[in-house]
Amino acid sequence: MSRDYILHKVRTAVGRSAGQPPDPPPEPRLRVPELSTEQRIEMFRARLESLAGRVAVVGAPSEAREYVAAMAAGKRAVASNAPFLTACGITSIPEVRSGFREPKALLDACTAADVGITSADYALADTGTLVMLSSQEEARAVSLLPPVHVAVIRRESLLTGLDELFSLVPEPDTLSSSMVLITGPSRTADIEQILVRGVHGPGEIHVVIV
Amino acid sequence: MLTGSYPRFTETLADPSLQLAIYTATGRLMDKRRATVMPEALPDYQELRNQAHLLKKHTLENLDYYLEQFQAALQARGGKVVYCKEGSEVVEFLAGLARERRAEVIVKSKSMTTEEIHFNERLAEFGVEPVETDLGEYIIQLTHQRPYHIVAPALHMTRYDVARVFQERLGVENETEPEKQTRIARRMLREKFLAADIGVSGANFLVAGSGAVVLVENEGNARMATTLPKVHVAVAGIEKMIPRAQDLAVFLKLLGRSGTGQPLTVYTSFLTGPRREGEVDGPEEFYVVLLDNGRTRLLADREKRESLFCIRCGACLNHCPVYRKIGGHSYPTTYSGPIGAILTPQYLGAKHSPWLPFASSLCGACAEVCPVKIDIPKILLDLRSEAVKAKRKDGENRVEAWSFKIWAWIMRHPRWYEAAGLAARAVLGSEDEGWLRRVPLWLRVGPLKEWLSRRDLPPPPERSFRQLWRSRLPAREE
C-alpha cells in the first residue's frame, strides 16, 4: 500500500521509528497589541477602504437595517440565517429572502441574487478581514455567489489581527468544517497585471459595524 | 557547461515585448513585496522568517508523525486521506472517483502540484478533462501551455493575446479590455462551477493537528471549487504539512506579502472535512491526496532537505536576474526560477536536466527574499558539484578538464602566457567588436563551437599590459 510505503520512506529518510513522539514544535510568537474598539474600527476602515471595500459604522441595529434596505432597494437579496441579522430586522426587509435550509433552494437564490447579506464571527482590524465560520446559520454561498456582499457585524467582534484570532480560536476545526477569511473584494491581476475586481466572488464588499 | 536542450531561451531573449512584459511584471511584484515587508510595515519580518524556517524544519524532521496525526484528525471529521507514490496514482484515483460518481464536469483551482504531475492531460485520457478556474490558469489551459510563473501563470501574455485566445477558443467577440475579458471568464466558468460534480484544489498548507487543508487565493475560484461540487479533492505534496493552526499566524503573514505584496490575500480557506450536520452547503465528500513524487528521496538528503520548505510564493523568481531575462518557459519543467532550478533536478533526478543548477549567477537575491530562508545558492552549488562529479565518472568532461589543465599551465609560465596573448591577438585582430565572435571558422568545432556561440569578451587593446609595463618603467635589473 502506498501509505505504508511512503511512511516507511519518510521514516528512513529522517531516521525515526514508528510512533516516536517528536519534541514539541517551536512556539510561534503571537502578539496582541492593546487597541481600543475605536482604534480597531478606524484601522479596519482604513484597511478595507484601501482595498475598495466600504465601511459604515452605525449606532443602532435599526440604522444597520436602513443601510441594508437602501442597498437592497429594487434588487434581489439573500440573507444568511444569522440570528444577528434577524435581531437587526434585516430579514424583514421586503427584498430580502432568508431562512434557506435546503441546499438546492439556497443555491438557486444565491445564483439569482444581486446582494448577499451575512454577519461574521470576527473581523480583523489590521488587515480589514472578515472571519466566517460556516454553520447552519451561515452558509458559504451567501458571501460568495452574489456580486455584492454586505456583512453586518457587532463592534465587539473586531479583533486586532491574525495573532488574536489564532490565540482565541487555536483549533478552528472544533467549531466548523470551514473557516474563511475574506479580505476585500474578489480580484485578479492575471492579465497584464491590471487589477480587476469581481472575478468569481463579489466585486463589492460592504461592512456595517453596529 | 550549458549543454542539452534549453527550450525557448533564445526566442525569449530576442523578443523585446516579452522582455518588457517579464521585466515590468516581476518589477511590480518586487516593489509591492518590498512595501509590505519593510520594517515600517512589518517590524518582525525577520523574526517571522526565522520562525517559519524552524517550523518547517521541525515538521519535516518529524514528518511521519505529522502525516499520521493529519490523517487521524481528518478521518475524525469524516474526511479521507489517499496516499500516492506518484502522479499516475493520483490520476487513477481521480478517474476512478469520477467514474463512480458519474462525474461529467470537474472544476479545478490553481495548484502547482497538479501541474507537476500533468494532471489535466493525463485525466483527459480517461475522458474527463478538468476545467481550470483561476483566470490565468484558464487562459493557459485554453492555449495548452504551462504556467509561466508560480503565482502569475499568464504573465507572458498581453491582453491582445488573451483576446485572440478567447475569440478562437470560446467563440466570443474580440475583446481587449481586461475588465471585460474577466467578465467573459466569470460567465463561462460560473456555468462550470454550477454544473461541476467534483472540485479539485491544491493546498497551500496542511494543518496536522486539525486535519485541515488551507487554501490561499484572490479570485474566489478556490472557494467555488470547494463549496459547490458534492466532492472536494485536495491534491497536496506531503511537504505542505505544518503542526498547528496557530502556525498559520506566521506563514500567512509571509506568503501574501512575499508573493503579491498583500498582507493577506482576499480569501484564505481553512477546510476540515465535508459539511457537518445542519450545514446547508459545502461538499458531501472530502478527500486529501498526499503525494510523494520524489519528495521522500529529497527528504533523505540532509544537506538539501530544506528545498522542501518552499511555500511557492514566487518571490525568488521575481528577484532572479536570470529568470527576468529568460522567462518561465526556458526552464524545463513546472517549477521555474531559482526554486525550480533546485527542485527539478532533485524531484526528477540529476540526469533530467544537469545544466539547470548552472543557470544562475549565484547573486544570492533569491535567498535574501525567501520567506522561509531556503539557502538556494548553497543548494545550487551542491547540485553543481554533484553534476560535475557524475560527469567525471562518465568521463564526459575530459575536454573541459584538459582545457583547464592547459590553461593552468600557461598561467604559471609567463613566457608562454605572453606568447599565447600575442598569438591570440594575431589570429583575432584588434577590432571594435567583441573578439570571441571573430574566432575563425576552422577553430569552431566540437565543444568549442557550442561554447563560443554565446560568449564574448571586449576587444583586446593594441598593446598588452606587459608591453606597457616594460615601455613605461625605466629599465630595471632583473
ipTM: 0.97
Cβ-based contacts of A78 with chain B (< 8 Å): none
Q: Distance (Å, rounded) from C-alpha A142 to C-alpha A120? A: 12
Closest C-alpha among A150, A146, A195, A28 to residue B262: A195
Helix, strand or coil, per DSSP, at residue A137: coil
**Mean pLDDT of the region A5-31:** 95
- Interface contact A200-B193, CB threshold 8 A: yes
**Mean pLDDT of the region B317-344:** 92
Q: Among positive and negative, which fits the CA dihedral A167, A171, A176, A178? A: positive
Q: Distance (Å, rounded) from C-alpha B354 to C-alpha A202? A: 47
pLDDT above 90: percentage of residues in chain B? 73
Q: Distance (Å, rounded) from C-alpha B77 to C-alpha A77? A: 33
Residue reference for cell 526552464: B331
Average model confidence (pLDDT) for chain B?
A: 90
Q: Distance (Å, rounded) from C-alpha B153 to C-alpha B422? A: 52
Q: What is the C-alpha R_g of chain B?
A: 27
Cβ-based contacts of B68 with chain A (< 8 Å): 7
How would you write A71-104 as a 3-class SS string?
HHCCCCEEECCCHHHHHCCHHHCCCEECCCCCHH
C-alpha cell at B97: 472517483
A171 belongs to a structural domain: yes
Question: Which residues, in sequence order, are CB contacts of A174 under 8 Å at separation 6+?
Answer: none
Residue reference for cell 492579465: A191
Cβ-based contacts of A184 with chain B (< 8 Å): 266
B84, β-bridge pairs: B291
Cross-chain CB nearest to B282 (options A25, A177, A194): A177
Q: Distance (Å, rounded) from C-alpha B95 to C-alpha B128? A: 8
Instruction: Tell me the one-letter amino acid at B305.
Output: R
Question: Per mean pLDDT, which range of B110-114, B190-194, B428-432, B448-452 is the poorest?
Answer: B428-432
Helix, strand or coil, per DSSP, at residue A188: strand
Cross-chain CB nearest to A10 (options B24, B220, B296): B296
For A53, name the nearest residue in chain B, comparing CA atoms only.
B266
Q: Distance (Å, rounded) from C-alpha B107 to C-alpha B229? A: 8
- pLDDT tens, residue by residue, B95-133: 999 999 999 999 999 999 999 999 999 999 999 989 999
More confident residue, B2 or B416: B416
Residue reference for cell 525567501: B370
Asked whether residue B447 carries a pLDDT value surpassing 80, the answer given is no
Cβ-based contacts of A103 with chain B (< 8 Å): 280-281
- pLDDT tens, residue by residue, B232-268: 999 999 999 999 999 999 999 999 999 999 999 999 9
Cross-chain CB nearest to A106 (options B58, B276, B280): B280
- Interface contact B274-A177, CB threshold 8 A: yes
Q: Residue B2: its pLDDT value, please?
A: 37
A·B CB contacts under 8 A: 265
Q: Distance (Å, rounded) from C-alpha A44 to C-alpha A183? A: 10
Q: What is the DSSP letter of B42?
A: -
Q: Please report which helix (H) or strand (E) contains residue B285, including its range.
A: strand B285-291
Cβ-based contacts of B44 with chain A (< 8 Å): 29, 31
Phi and psi at B272, nearest 5°, equal: -130, 90
Q: Distance (Å, rounded) from C-alpha B247 to C-alpha B266? A: 19
Q: State how far the alpha carbon of B91 is from the alpha carbons of B94, B124, B235, B276, in Å.
A: 5, 10, 11, 28
Please, what's the b/e burial string for B53-88 (b: 16 or more CB within 10 A of its CB; e: otherwise)? Answer: bbbbbbbbbbbbbbbbbbbebbeebbbebbbbbebe
Please, what's the b/e burial string for A159-173 (b: 16 or more CB within 10 A of its CB; e: otherwise)? Answer: bbbbbbbbeebebbb
Model confidence at A209, pLDDT cuts 50, 70, 90, reads very high
Q: What is the C-alpha R_g of chain A?
A: 21
Tell me how close the Cα of B30 comes to any Cα of chain A, in angstroms: 13
- Interface contact B182-A196, CB threshold 8 A: yes
Q: Residue B287: its pLDDT value, please?
A: 98
Contact between residue A188 and residue B110 where contact means Cβ atoms under 8 Å apart: no
Helix, strand or coil, per DSSP, at residue B417: helix
Q: Distance (Å, rounded) from C-alpha B272 to C-alpha B206? A: 10
B212, β-bridge pairs: B207
Tell me how close the Cα of B207 comes to any Cα of chain A, in angstroms: 10
Contact between residue A175 and residue A133 where contact means Cβ atoms under 8 Å apart: yes
Q: Among positive and negative, which fits the CA dihedral B424, B428, B434, B438? A: negative
HSE toward the beta carbon, residue B343, CA cutoff 13 A: 25
- Expressed as residue numbers, the domain containing A94 is 33-209
Q: Distance (Å, rounded) from C-alpha B53 to C-alpha B375? A: 11
Model confidence at B3, pLDDT cuts 50, 70, 90, reads very low
Number of H helices, E strands in chain A: 6, 12
Q: Residue B477: its pLDDT value, please?
A: 53
Question: Chain B interface, mutation test: which of A78, A134, A191, A197, most B Cβ atoms within 10 Å?
Answer: A191
Closest C-alpha among A156, A174, A176 to residue A164: A156
More confident residue, B405 or A45: A45
- Interface contact A200-B186, CB threshold 8 A: yes
Asked whether residue B460 carries a pLDDT value surpassing 80, the answer given is no
Helix, strand or coil, per DSSP, at residue B399: helix
Total domains present in chain A: 1
Helix axis angle, B178-195 to B159-170, nearest 10°:
40
- Interface contact B279-A194, CB threshold 8 A: no
Asked whether residue B6 carries a pLDDT value surpassing 70, the answer given is no
Q: Among positive and negative, which fits the CA dihedral A133, A134, A138, A140? A: positive
- Interface contact B133-A200, CB threshold 8 A: yes
Conformation bin of residue A149: beta by default, left when phi > 0, alpha when psi is -120 to 50: beta
For A183, name the nearest residue in chain B, comparing CA atoms only.
B266
Tell me how close the Cα of A70 comes to any Cα of chain B, in angstroms: 26
Helix axis angle, B135-142 to B159-170, nearest 10°:
60
Question: Chain A interface, mutation test: which of B70, B215, B264, B297, most A Cβ atoms within 10 Å?
Answer: B264
C-alpha cell at A140: 458559504
Q: Residue B5: its pLDDT value, please?
A: 44
Domain B40-296 CATH superfamily: NagB/RpiA/CoA transferase-like (3.40.50.10420)
DSSP of B463-478: S-HHHHHHHHSPP---
- pLDDT tens, residue by residue, B27-63: 999 999 999 999 999 999 999 999 999 999 999 999 9
Contact between residue A177 and residue A183 where contact means Cβ atoms under 8 Å apart: no
Contact between residue A45 and residue A57 where contact means Cβ atoms under 8 Å apart: yes
What are the contacts of B466-472 at 24+ separation with CB within 8 A?
Answer: B466/B418, B466/B421
Cβ-based contacts of A193 with chain B (< 8 Å): 24-25, 28, 152, 155
- pLDDT tens, residue by residue, B340-360: 999 988 888 767 777 888 889
Q: Distance (Å, rounded) from C-alpha B360 to C-alpha A166? A: 40
- pLDDT tens, residue by residue, B132-174: 999 999 999 999 999 999 999 999 999 999 999 999 999 999 9
For A184, name the nearest residue in chain B, comparing CA atoms only.
B266
Average model confidence (pLDDT) for chain A?
A: 96
For A140, name the nearest residue in chain B, comparing CA atoms only.
B281
Residue reference for cell 435581531: A87
Q: Distance (Å, rounded) from C-alpha B139 to C-alpha B147? A: 10
Cross-chain CB nearest to A186 (options B190, B218, B300): B218
Cβ-based contacts of B223 with chain A (< 8 Å): 140, 144, 180, 200-201
Helix axis angle, B398-411 to B446-453, nearest 10°:
80
- Interface contact A200-B247, CB threshold 8 A: no
Residue reference for cell 438546492: A104
Model confidence at B432, pLDDT cuts 50, 70, 90, reads low
Cross-chain CB nearest to B272 (options A162, A177, A188): A177
C-alpha cell at B440: 575563425
CA dihedral B172, B173, B176, B179 (to 10 degrees): -60
**Mean pLDDT of the region B374-397:** 85
- pLDDT tens, residue by residue, A70-129: 999 999 999 999 999 999 999 999 999 999 999 999 999 999 999 999 999 999 999 999
Q: Residue B446: its pLDDT value, please?
A: 72
- pLDDT tens, residue by residue, A176-205: 999 999 999 999 999 999 999 999 999 999
Cβ-based contacts of B300 with chain A (< 8 Å): 9, 12-14
Cross-chain CB nearest to A10 (options B64, B77, B189): B64
Q: What is the DSSP letter of A173?
A: G
Cβ-based contacts of A20 with chain B (< 8 Å): 65
What residue spans in chain B does CATH classification 3.40.50.10420 cover? 40-296
- Interface contact A28-B179, CB threshold 8 A: no
Instruction: Report the CATH number at residue A80.
Output: 3.40.50.10420
Closest C-alpha among A41, A67, A73 to residue A151: A67
- Interface contact B58-A5, CB threshold 8 A: no
Contact between residue A194 and residue B135 where contact means Cβ atoms under 8 Å apart: no
Model confidence at B396, pLDDT cuts 50, 70, 90, reads low
Q: State how far the alpha carbon of B324 is from the alpha carbons of B156, B222, B367, in Å.
A: 11, 29, 16
Q: Residue B434: its pLDDT value, please?
A: 56
